Amino acid sequence: MAGADAAEGVRSWVMHDRSLYPLVEREDRSACGTGFIVEASGRPSRRVVTSALDALGRLVHRGATAADDETGDGAGLLTDLPGAFFREILEREIGASPGESEVPAVAMAFVPVGEEPDLERVTERAAARYGMRYLGRRAVPVRPEALGDVARSCMPSVVQLFVACPTAGPRPVESELYLLRRAIERELGEASTTCICSLSSKTIVYKGLLTPRQLEGFYPDLTDERWLARVALFHHRFATNTLPSWSLAQPFRLLAHNGEINTIRGNRLWMRAREREMHSPFWGEDLATLLPITGDAVSDSASFDHVLEFLHRSGRDLCHSLMLMVPDPYHGSPRVPPALRDFFVYHENVMEPWDGPAALVFTDGEVVGAKLDRNALRPLRYTETRDGLVIMASEAGVVDVEEDNLVHNRHMGPGEIYAVRLDGGGVRTDGEIKAQVACGAPYGELVRHFAELERGGAELEFGEFALPPNGFDRRLRIAFGWHKEEIAKLLLPMSQSGREPIGSMGDDTPPAVLSRGDRRLYDYFKQAFAQVTNPPIDPIREASVTGLYKYLGTEDNLLSGQPSPSSAIRIEGPVLSPREVLWLQRSHDWFPHANVSCHASRDDSFDARLDGICRSAAEAVARGCRIIFLSHEQLDETAVPIPMVLVVSAVHHHLIEQRSRSAASLVCLAGDVVSDHHVACLVAVGASAVYPYLAYELIREHEADSEDWPASIARYRSALERGLLKIMAKMGISTLNSYHGSMNVHALGLSGDLLSLPVPEAG
């Protein structure tokens, strides 16, 4: 489908065919309150600011307060920069002004007492380095008496720094200011607690450890009649995964978020892993200044904002970036337009989804918009009025609208994106945005380079599976820790029913650390649980938005301005059959792989052997191998197997340290996998796929006299994958792509020495 036809196909589908998404009624009062108000005409007004402050005041019930009942978890406002207001401040208070070929930019910063001179010196030096002029500083007027006791006790100095940025620089002004801010942060160092809330020529953030009704009382600027704006984002925080602080109040620089990113640990690790592979003529050598893109010492929403800002300031359209990070499902309906399907297929091999309940509002000073996750687990509603306001919020009624002033009132649907241009260009609907983004490159041609490993029936997948020539070696059961109870109560029932066994709520099996018997290393891990405000997914009723497909191979460059036809192999699920493994191994000529044995000699140093495995995997990746098979096969009496979950975790983190993790996939040929929990642990710590060959051999041995043994193995595989899907769903995670490497497991009873095993130094 070409050009205009493809775009029209996407628009038509989005408008008329939403059968892909489940229609499930949900409780709509959970977690943070957020939204925006915008003048559709593009003309700044005072009512945008006052309406946003009123709306924020009506969302008090969505946030939380400290024990003093006066300190909030955080509240704030992001508006476009009121030019006249700041021009007057520059002229009267600072005595400076930008030149004819310069634009003024304002940094809003929280600075610990005593560190202000350091911030000024660093800013002046960094501005000169990038061809900008430092103009001066302003102490932002504040009223500490408006705060609660807790907030007042940790209140930073609030200052604004002014910079003049040339309009004819090597990159757009906002990208240059992003580079400047990152340079300042790097020079201040990790030990500094200074927070630059915003640095922009278009937008500014006023926020703090406040309740909504304290915001305008604390910041008199917001009540100044000269403060006119075209748009205002607002947010009231309910902190669930980090302690409240001034810097973690929202909005952030582009974004305000209601929800949780359930895969945040994995998302951060994958971003770190990509850093060596990224290259960009847009940034050139300046790219190093922007790294690391995000870190662990912030909230999930802050990390999301970091990555969104990095993508957008690197030249990617803002809506495109949101569709990349929070993609729609497409595999559940054959009616999804080819152009949109190809867009999502291609980008699955660029970045994993940031998965979890999400209601996102965003602006870069040129467009303001909103995006929902694929399940719509957080609500957003918008109203368009005859007098030109667009009101978006996490619930209705935040702004009073007379009935005769109402044009449109709608609840956003799953996966929907909505935007308004701030230049008066009007509303951009879901269909228009997706049509434009999906047709922005020839994704259909690019995805033709992806191979798809389609599954067949049980006979095709398992029919050629053969036991070893000399029969099954029963000593392997002992070597890999198999017990008769596992075979009788787990393995064989799964091969007969295609489901995991149902246990009693009165299960009295002791935790592995308290057990007197030998337990597998997997048993010391427990799946992480969802936050209190985070609903699980029903993987049966909501099958259309879940998926176990995965791509093997090398990711494309995240910063590629021209998408490349890098090849990858798509598998339908993470538990491989013998035919699929043989197919991958026979594809070596065009899809190189390496086998790394995961055994240890009885005389080996355990640490040294694990280091050797990590180094072998890293060397294979450096040679261009795109799959690393971590193998328990070919075990003999001179060696013992290393638990596969330990091997995968060590190799995964070693490759991350070397910034080469995104260059290859890890596939486990495991002899110690029994249950869906074992598969989930392996995928969570970094395995792309698992081949439980010894479990298959045991089923084959048990079914030796039956002609139905291929079907039994197929049912066992189905049970593993269905169980994995249920485990993901409990965490509110929809796709294997986002669960992969998510580290959503907790260790219970393992020593600190084992958990902190060093990996070889990156070389």
Instruction: Give the catalytic positions in this structure.
Output: 32
Distance CA 234, CA 655 (A): 40
Phi, psi for residue 735 in degrees, rounded to 5: -125, 150
Q: Dihedrals φ, ψ of 760, to 5°?
A: -55, 150
Q: SS3 for 150?
A: helix
C-alpha distances (whole Å) from 754 to each of 452, 549, 607, 661, 757 are 38, 32, 10, 22, 5
* Both tokens assigned to 467: 């036991």
Closest alpha carbon to 627 in 688, 550, 671, 684: 688
d(CA 742, CA 736): 10
Percentages helix, strand, coil for the chain (3-state, rounded to 5) are 35, 20, 45
Cα end-to-end distance, the chain, whole Å: 46
Distances (CA, A) of 126 to 109, 130, 190, 314, 552: 16, 7, 17, 20, 42
* 275, 659 Cβ separation under 8 angstroms: yes
> Quick one: CA torsion of 78, 209, 178, 661, rounded to 10 degrees?
-120
Task: Round to whole Å and give the CA distance between 360 and 252.
Answer: 11
3-state class of 472 per DSSP? Answer: coil
Alpha-carbon distances of 720 from 481, 679, 738, rounded to whole Å: 19, 7, 18
Q: At what angle do helices 644-657 and 676-684 cross, to 10 degrees?
A: 10
Distance between alpha carbon 305 and the CA centroid of its chain, in Å?
A: 10
The closest of 88, 92, 58 to 75, measured between CA atoms, is 58
Structure tokens at 94: 């600072």
Element (H, E) at 75: strand 75-80
Q: How far apart are CA 279 and CA 760, in angstroms?
A: 25
What sign for the dihedral angle of Cα 612, 624, 289, 360? negative
Cα separation, 489 vs 480, whole angstroms: 17
The single residue listed with the structure tokens 């990070």 is: 325
Contact 691, 669 (CB under 8 A): yes
DSSP 662-687: GG-EEEEE-SS--SHHHHHHHHHTT-
Characterise 42 by phi-psi region: left (phi > 0), alpha (psi -120 to 50), beta (else). left
What is the C-alpha separation between 697 and 695, in angstroms, rounded? 5
For residue 748, the one-letter residue type is L
Token pair of 53, please? 């402050």
The angle that helices 338-348 and 3-16 make with each other, rounded to 10 degrees, is: 90
Beta carbons of 351 and 558 less than 8 angstroms apart: yes
CA 170 and chain centroid, separation: 30
Tokens of 148: 């609660």
- Cα–Cα distance between 326 and 737 in angstroms, integer? 12
CA torsion sign, 551 to 556 to 561 to 563? negative
> Quick one: tokens of 189?
């160092």
Compute how many other C-beta atoms are within 10 angstroms of the C-beta atom of residue 278: 20
Would you say the C-alpha torsion 387, 389, 390, 391 has a positive or negative sign?
A: negative
In angstroms, rounded to a whole number, what is the distance separating the alpha carbons of residues 645 and 692?
13
